[in-house]
Amino acid sequence: MDAGPCPASPQEGPGFSCPICLDALRDPVTIPCGHNFCLSCIRAHRHHPTPGGAPGAGGQSSARCPLCQEPFPADLQLRKNHTLAELLQLRLPAPPPSPRLAMAPEEAPEPSPAQGACRPEGPGRQQEAAAEEEEEEEVLCDFCTGGERARAAQSCLVCLASFCAPHLQPHLKSPAFQGHRLVPPLRHIEESLCKLHLKPLESFCRTDQSCICHLCRAQEHRSHEVVAVEVEREHVEAQRPKILSNVENQLDELGVTIAQTRRTVDLIKGTAQKEKEKVSKQFAETARVLSVFQKEVFGFIEDGERAMLDEAKEELQQKEERRARLMEYRQNLETVPSTDTISFLQEFQALKIAVEEKIFPSTGFPKELSFIKSSQAVSAMREQLMNICKNQWDQLSGKGEEVPVFYGMPEGTSESPVSEKSSSPACLESRDYFLKFAFIIDLDSDTADKFLQLFGTKGAKRVLNPIAYPESPTRFINCEQVLGENVMNRGNYYWEVEIIDGWVSIGVVTEDFSPRESYDRGRLGRNEKSCCLQWNGQNYVAWFGGFDCVIQQTFFHTIGVYLEYSEKALTFYGVKDSKTTCLQQFKVARFKKGHFDPFQNKINHQFPSLFTHNLKPAFFLESVDAHMQLGPLKKDCVSVLKRR
């Protein structure tokens, strides 16, 4: 007998089936005209618009609704209608109750062909059926011993085993198994047992949100809210559509953000790779420039060496030839017999002529080799490069400060240090101007080296025999130096020093400078914590940080020193008849275009750091006859102080 017509499922009612595939709506989408379709169906229809469609943006044809033929944009972003999806989920029929002890598996009614025909045959239902069959086939009977094990019909949570229909009969008919709990086939039965009591998990604790057995419920969960697992399942099933809808939304959002993040990652990698390539090329170019500069410096040294060696060898050859002639004439004279008067007179005359022969003045060893400045220039270049690298790295790492730093780069509008010095207001003033800033200095006997003899607090002279000064932690032990007691840390200061004899250096030093430094590092101007003007018997030399600058000026017995602490400047003057001549100014300055001065470059980089400390006047008596005296400001200084 044919089966009667299958009752219509909720999905097949009006508004719940897709007009394209005539199946239940899957991932329902609502288009602007208000009709609902499956997401995959309307997407495929949109990509194959009907002929004669209305032109859309860009001249392309728009898609039309399959029901009302109303056009909608071909690039319309299709989104799942979550409200309709939840409604469809709620209209699904409740699943049949699982078979219990009251019904044996063989007594369960088999689905009729008519009932089977009522199931929708869409692709989604076929996939679900295949998945269910595959899942059921994975659970086999544990008691079948034949060649093939039958599919399990039920699992027992007490026996921890699955049984096919024949092997399940004892559990259904024998009173001994009435206390056993049968459930649908489980692949991992042990997961349905309490790990503490090894009893079936038949209750759910809503307080702790965990499955428990009856022993747990009677003990630690006694005061908690506990329900049967079936009740909790129904409660969760009611929440599932909303949770799944949130999951879908988050999955869509994560998909977009993941794509954006991947593009960002690719952009970062690509940009970093390009930047590495640029930096690599720049470093290679820098290395090439340094290599060329090294070859040029070596060539300069070799050319200077070759030229000076040729001149020295020629002079050496002339002197050796003259020496050989003189020795020959002398030997000839000594070998003449005493009885041979004629030969004696002849040899003596030849020797006399050779001795009186006109001798060209000897060039002697050059006072300064032409290439001796090469190492100093390279040292300045290296220090400049190190400072540039440090400053650039500080800026890259966010530690850099906005301070003006001069790297010796040529600038068309800049002036040379000499031009700046001559145009400085302090360099144009007379001695009377500086007397307003007169600074009375007393020599500190606790700093004087043992080879310096002090005359009161104003004079110092170098001696050959050490003086038995008392021990002092501030006394110089390796350099013949002495400091003033006075400290300078603000404003302007002016003092004068009279050079009586010998080599004398006049300068300033930081208060924290160690008097225990070695001779090479402890002398004024040979370190970054002091600077000085030196008279070496022939000319003046400015010193700072181990770099020197020779000053071509006549000798002045009196040297004026003007310190502008706030301006970070120190100027030395030659004083004569109330007039001042600027000898050297230590101050940051730019270079003239096309010129580079290693000494001024050293000042530009490190001289301002002296003014972060307290400064003291300092004096270095280099030669054994060195003698200096503070002053002579005398009455002029006193009168100025009274006016102040």
Residue scoring higher pLDDT (10 or 176) = 176
Kindly tell me if the per-residue pLDDT of 453 is higher than 90. yes
User: Does residue 124 carry a pLDDT above 60?
Assistant: no
The pLDDT value recorded for residue 7 is: 39
The string of pLDDT tens digits covering residues 190-226 is: 777 787 887 778 899 999 999 998 889 888 898 899 9
For the cut 50, the answer to whether the pLDDT of residue 8 exceeds it is no
Q: Residue 40's pLDDT band (boundaries 50, 70, 90)?
A: confident
pLDDT at 120: 43
Poorest-confidence range of 138-147, 498-507, 542-551? Answer: 138-147
pLDDT-derived band at 635 (thresholds 50, 70, 90) equals low
Better pLDDT: 406 or 467? 467
**Highest-confidence segment of 347-361, 413-427, 618-632:** 618-632
**Confidence at residue 415, expressed as pLDDT on a 0 to 100 scale:** 37
Token duo for residue 352:
């006399």
**Which is higher by pLDDT, 92 or 602?**
602
Model confidence at 408, in pLDDT bands (50, 70, 90)?
very low
Position with higher pLDDT, 356 vs 100: 356
Residue that is written with structure tokens 């969960």 in the block: 221
Bigger pLDDT: 436 vs 104: 436
- How many helices (H) and strands (E) the chain has is answered by 14, 23
**Whole-number Cα distances in Å, 529 to 114, 287, 442, 458:** 106, 33, 21, 24
The CB-side HSE value for 168 (13 A sphere, CA atoms) comes to 28
Distance of alpha carbon 229 from alpha carbon 590, whole angstroms = 87
80/65 Cα distance (integer angstroms): 17
Distance, in Å, from the CA atom of 213 to the CA atom of 197, rounded to the nearest integer, reads 8
Residue-level pLDDT at 616? 95
Give the pLDDT confidence score for residue 398 in this predicted structure. 75
For residue 103, how many C-alpha atoms fall within 13 Å in the half-sphere facing its CB? 10
pLDDT, the chain, mean: 80
| pLDDT score recorded for residue 374 | 83
pLDDT at 387: 83
Which has more pLDDT, 240 or 102? 240
pLDDT of residue 102: 38
Range from 58-72, 126-140, 449-463 carrying the lowest mean pLDDT:
126-140
- For the chain, the first-to-last Cα distance in angstroms comes to 134
Split at pLDDT 50, 70, 90, the class of 5 is: very low
Q: Give the DSSP letter of residue 600.
A: H
Share of the chain above pLDDT 90, in %: 29
pLDDT at 25: 86
Output the pLDDT for position 429.
73
Q: What is the pLDDT of residues 320-339, one digit of tens each?
A: 988 998 899 888 888 889 88
Q: What is the pLDDT of residue 128?
A: 53
- The pLDDT score that the predictor gives to residue 273 is 93
Listed ranges 275-284, 356-365, 589-598; the one with the highest mean pLDDT: 275-284
DSSP string of 434-488?
HHTTB----B-TTT--TTEEEETTTEEEE-SSPP-PPP-TT--SSS-EEEBS--B
Task: Provide the 10 A C-beta neighbour count for residue 608.
Answer: 15
- Poorest-confidence range of 43-52, 91-100, 171-180? 91-100
For 61-212, where are the E strands, in sequence order?
Answer: 63-64, 71-72, 154-156, 161-163, 182-183, 203-205, 210-212
pLDDT score recorded for residue 563 = 95
- Specify the pLDDT at position 360: 61
Closest CA to 153 of 99, 219, 211: 99
Q: How far apart are CA 114 and CA 122, in angstroms?
A: 17
Name the one residue in this structure whose structure tokens are 């470093």: 283
Return d(Cα 268, Cα 274) in angstroms, integer: 10
- Residue 121 clears pLDDT 60, i.e. is over it: no
Collapsing DSSP states into helix, strand and coil, what is residue 173?
helix
More confident residue, 642 or 314: 314
**Mean pLDDT of the region 169-181:** 84
pLDDT of residue 108: 42
* Confidence bin at 617 (pLDDT 50/70/90): very high
Cα–Cα nearest to 353, from 368, 369, 332: 332
